[in-house]
Amino acid sequence: MPAAATPADKTESYFPLAGGDNDGWSNEEEATATCFCGAVQLKFPTQGPGLIYTFVCNCADCRKVTASMFASNFTVANTHLTHVRGRENLSTYAQARTIASSNTMTNFFCKTCGTLMYRCSSAFPELSVLRIGTVDDFSLHETKLKPMLEQFVERRVGWLHPLEGVEQVEGMWLPGK
């Protein structure tokens, strides 16, 4: 009989080595998000009003831009977002052609390692959409940053299931809709 895999303790904070620096952190109100190589680091709030909402998106753009099948995101008010380091190391790519809302989405990537740190929509210039996977304290992926909703569910690849206990939305979720 194969030995059962030991389940990882996901309640513990886990700070991966983000490039040369093992310097991510979190406290009650804030945490860091760092690119894969460590050059770019952001600081963001882990609660309202700065943290707006958390979501998974299955749209076609999210597949392409993540090189995966969906994106796991959270939206932050720019007034509460700090570039700790590496802002000059961000490169941008913007287009509106494939965006469902026909707004221009600008993507901010680390020039060195290619990690997509955040996206901004021309319709909501006061907000940035960050990536849950870039957050250094992995215990937050399980708790405060757990997705509240899943959108573009009609686009979800057939071999993935809906997120259990998470609001399912066709198309883009808009507040108050």
Query: Does position 121 bind Zn ion by CB under 5 A?
Result: no
If you ran DSSP here, which 8-state letter would residue 125 be given?
A: T
Minimum Å gap between C-beta 99 and Zn ion is: 9
- Hey, how many other C-beta atoms are within 10 angstroms of the C-beta on 25? 12
Q: Rounded distance, CA 121 to CA 106, Å?
A: 6
Stretch that binds Zn ion, among 49-57, 100-108, 139-147, 156-164 (CB under 5 A): 49-57
Question: What is the Cβ-side half-sphere exposure of residue 73, based on CA atoms within 13 angstroms?
Answer: 28
Which of 113, 148, 149, 169 is close enough to bind Zn ion by CB under 5 A? 113
Closest CA to 144 of 41, 23, 30: 30
Which of 110, 127, 135, 145 is close enough to bind Zn ion by CB under 5 A? 110
Can you say how many angstroms the Cα of residue 116 is from the centroid of all Cα atoms in its chain? Answer: 9
Which of 39, 116, 127, 129 is close enough to bind Zn ion by CB under 5 A? 39
Give whichever of 35 and 132 is closer to Zn ion, judged by the CB atom. Answer: 35
Give whichever of 79 and 168 is closer to Zn ion, judged by the CB atom. Answer: 168
